[in-house]
Amino acid sequence: MDELAHAAGRDPYEFRMSLLREDRKLHWVMWPDDPPLETRRFRAVLQLAAEKSGWGQPLPAGRGRGIACCCSFGSYLAHVVEASVGKNGVVRVHRVVSAVDCGTAVNPDGVRAMTEGGINYALTPVLSGEITIKDGAVVQGNFDGYQILRMSDAPDVEVHIVPSNGTPGGMGETGVPPLAPAVANAVFAATGKRIRRLPIDPDSLAATAQPS
């Protein structure tokens, strides 16, 4: 979606909102009994995440913002990621602002916790976690060889819940899918380089990194 926005010369957030401007209910086929996708709810989480993240406001040199959204298990979620790329090409995710519409939030603290957990869980395969195969077997046998996210690398996270009295949706996995594209879009905003493979290879970004 970001690449379409870039090709059209449009702001990524505004481009998404323009595609969702009409209230529609769209039936999709992820799961046969899923409720229809509502453009109104997508607009709400995108707008809230953009507002709370300061979308469009200047950032320090070398940083970029990326946005992405998803609908999963009847819930809607948007992430705005603020990231930078060091001279060595290493990506640092500084901040993630999330907006969630899960219908009635039966336990708001649980909704925030699951969103925060999904973000940090998803950052591992984005930044460092890679499974490789050699001679038909997985090389990484334990966490000494599989680099999971450390607390020192975890971003500041803000979770904002859209007020609703609708049917409760699922939150166990909803925070995971839009995290990687939001990070990749932030990297593009900071460097002008698109990410085509995960985890992100620092060597591929070192030549385009800006001082941060």
CATH number at residue 20: 3.30.365.10
Statement: residue 211 has pLDDT above 60: no
> What range defines the domain where residue 188 resides?
2-206
Question: What is the per-residue pLDDT for 144?
Answer: 85
Does 212 map to a domain? Answer: no
- 119 pLDDT exceeds 70? yes
Q: pTM of the full predicted structure?
A: 0.92
**Whole-number pLDDT of residue 66:** 98
How many domains does the structure of the chain reveal?
Answer: 1
- The average confidence (pLDDT) of the chain is 93
DSSP assignment of the chain: -HHHHHHHT--HHHHHHHHT-S--EE---SSTTPPPEEHHHHHHHHHHHHHHHTTTS---TTEEEEEEEEEETTEEEEEEEEEEE-TT--EEEEEEEEEEE-SS-SSHHHHHHHHHHHHHHHHHHHHT----EETTEES--STTTS-PPPGGGPPEEEEEEPP--S-----TTTTSTTHHHHHHHHHHHHHS----SSS--HHHHHTT----
Read off the pLDDT of residues 45-97 as tens digits, 9 standing for 90 and up.
999 999 999 999 999 988 999 999 999 889 999 999 999 999 999 999 999 99
- The answer to whether residue 211 is domain-embedded is no
Residue 185 lies in a domain: yes
